[in-house]
Structure 1
Amino acid sequence: MEKRVMLVDGMALLFRAFYATAMSNYYMINSKGVPTNAVYGMVKHLFTAARVYEPTHIVACWDMGSKTFRNDLFESYKANRSAPPEEMIPQFDLAKEVTEALNIPNVGMAGYEADDCIGTLSSHYREEAEVMILTGDQDMLQLLQPNVSVLLLKKGYGNYAEYTEDRLKEEKGITPRQLIDLKAFMGDSSDNYPGVKGIGEKTALKLLHQYESIEGILENIDSLTKGQRSKIETDLEMLHLSRDLAEIRCNAEVSHPLEEAFFDVKEERMAEKFNELEFRNWRKNLI
């Protein structure tokens, strides 16, 4: 049987599900006073994707705390992020309990982000299986390589933008590796690092099409316009730092044997957990 492993960006699914219902104050609070809207929606995303793509194996990856090696590189990394809403906080642990009840292993590592765990596992698994990364985060497109695709969640349930290396090349004219350099120039306001001030996506793409990489651009800096050269020279240190922050690590010390990720839901264990959380109509709406 051909192995098809789905690596799930747990945080991306959880936050997406939370905000989809929180906007209308629908938190699905159960009789114990615990909100469950994010976990319920996450499970729905998970089962929907499993129906569409029929993975043989599933692994869920998570952030383990807010501080990572990127904060050591740049103190202000993600410093602009506000604390999660209070209705969200109890759902982080609940989400992992639910995936466990579905026989899906949870993987995370202190000091790294879920992205780094996904990057590392995708590099391991692609040797023996087709790898699909389920996320809402476009940064994951840098992980595209032979045997690795990215499924970007779109609005609603069951809608995905499916990316391969070829599709990325068609759309943006660049490789996954060049995406990291693109982000180094553009910076990332949500992660709170600036890149090169005054160089946006359009200019950065043009330079990468012409010179291929940051190194190629720097080697030809005398060929750039005066404005481009001045901006890059002013923020040269930040350009290199931004690239370091943007790059998803594929060498984190994290592993999980593929055979232990076989997707095989035990009905009884799942029912017990869903009923404990008081998921309404879950047989009809989730599975």
Structure 2
Amino acid sequence: MMEKKILLVDGMALLFRAFYSTAMSGYFMVNSKGVPTNAVHGFVRHMMTAANTFQPSHVICCWDMGAHTFRNDLYPDYKANRGAPPEELVPQFDLVKEVTESMEIPNIGEVGYEADDCIGTLAKAYQSEAEVHILTGDQDILQLLDENIKVILLKKGYGNYDIYHAERFTEEKGITPYQMIELKAMMGDTSDNYPGVRGVGEKTALKLLQKHGTLEDILANLDQLTKAQRAKFENDLEMVHLSRKLAEINCETGVTCDLNEAEFRINRERAMEKFQELEFKRLDSLF
């Protein structure tokens, strides 16, 4: 077993999950300065519960750096269906990074890329020297499953996880994690607002991938598809190629993080000072 165990945290996924788990009931934990803190408080609980469960030697947190990415340049309607974040969440975007910094956990992000792209880049960079665990609530990141790369999916509540390795994914889906990119290219993604091949769902896309192996081979053998399937692909030929580019996590963003700076050694006094400033309660037991 490798000595290094790196936990790559999808900061955006944890922050949004923490916000909406309490915001639905109108509970924003506004402190005496009028600043809402519910998302940051929940983020810390999620991250520290996972750290205590999986005992990483290193922790790195990855973030989106603005709404516009290279995917918007490829397809202007990418995520165009998403409204502006709630006003109670906006001040917590910067605040959460202050909190992770106080815990001496590196914040990593790159303008023009999503947190997933930074996670993918770091995971691939570290997998030869460490066991990498990715903490997220986003199943899109399952495409990164590989040797020494596992994904910890958050489930409802705190401390409940669905842990994936490449072998489990293949057993369940009948395809490799990498083929998930082409699965999404065909079936599209309503959350990210791109259509893929209209009329082709997950069941059909899976069968085609299991039979042909790659999107390229499916397109090279359209004559083997049913008449209806062939028509759908021919009508959306350009979009399926574009959707593949949108679906693939970019693992060559150029982001780096010196592992010496990511050793998980929280200065409890410094962290608690920040928590007291924000008027956080019920977090002491996690440290």
Q: Name the TM-score, length of structure 1 as normaliser.
A: 0.98
**1:209 equivalenced with 2:178 (yes/no):** no
Are 1:100 and 1:106, in contact at CA under 8 Å, matched by a contact in 2? yes
Are 1:125 and 1:258, in contact at CA under 8 Å, matched by a contact in 2? no
> What stretches of structure 2 of length at least 5 have no aligned partner?
none
2:40 is matched with which residue?
Answer: 39
> 2: CA distance between counterparts of 1:225 and 1:252?
40
> Post-superposition shift, 1:98?
0.4
> Post-superposition shift, 1:259?
1.7
> 1: CA distance between counterparts of 2:147 and 2:284?
37
1:155 is matched with which residue?
Answer: 156
* Pairs within 5 Å for 1:96-135: 96-135=97-136
Deviations 1:231-252 (A, max 9, x none): 0010000000000000000000
Are 2:45 and 2:283, in contact at CA under 8 Å, matched by a contact in 1? no
> What stretches of structure 1 of length at least 5 have no aligned partner?
none
- Detail structure 1 runs of 4+ shifted over 2 Å in the superposition: none
1:234 is matched with which residue?
Answer: 235
Structure 2 residue identity aligned to 1:241: L
Are 2:198 and 2:232, in contact at CA under 8 Å, matched by a contact in 1? yes
Q: How many residues align?
A: 286
> 2: CA distance between counterparts of 1:205 and 1:76?
26
Deviations 1:97-150 (A, max 9, x none): 000011100000000100000000000111111000000000000001100000
> 1: CA distance between counterparts of 2:226 and 2:19?
46
> 2: CA distance between counterparts of 1:217 and 1:279?
54
> Post-superposition shift, 1:281?
2.9
> 2: CA distance between counterparts of 1:194 and 1:38?
31
1:68 is matched with which residue?
Answer: 69
> 2: CA distance between counterparts of 1:17 and 1:180?
28
Seq. identity, %:
65
Are 1:70 and 1:245, in contact at CA under 8 Å, matched by a contact in 2? yes
Deviations 1:196-229 (A, max 9, x none): 0000000000000000110111121111100000
1:91 is matched with which residue?
Answer: 92
> 1: CA distance between counterparts of 2:7 and 2:190?
29
SS at match of 2:30: coil
> Post-superposition shift, 1:257?
1.1
2:282 is matched with which residue?
Answer: 281
Q: Name the TM-score, length of structure 2 as normaliser.
A: 0.98
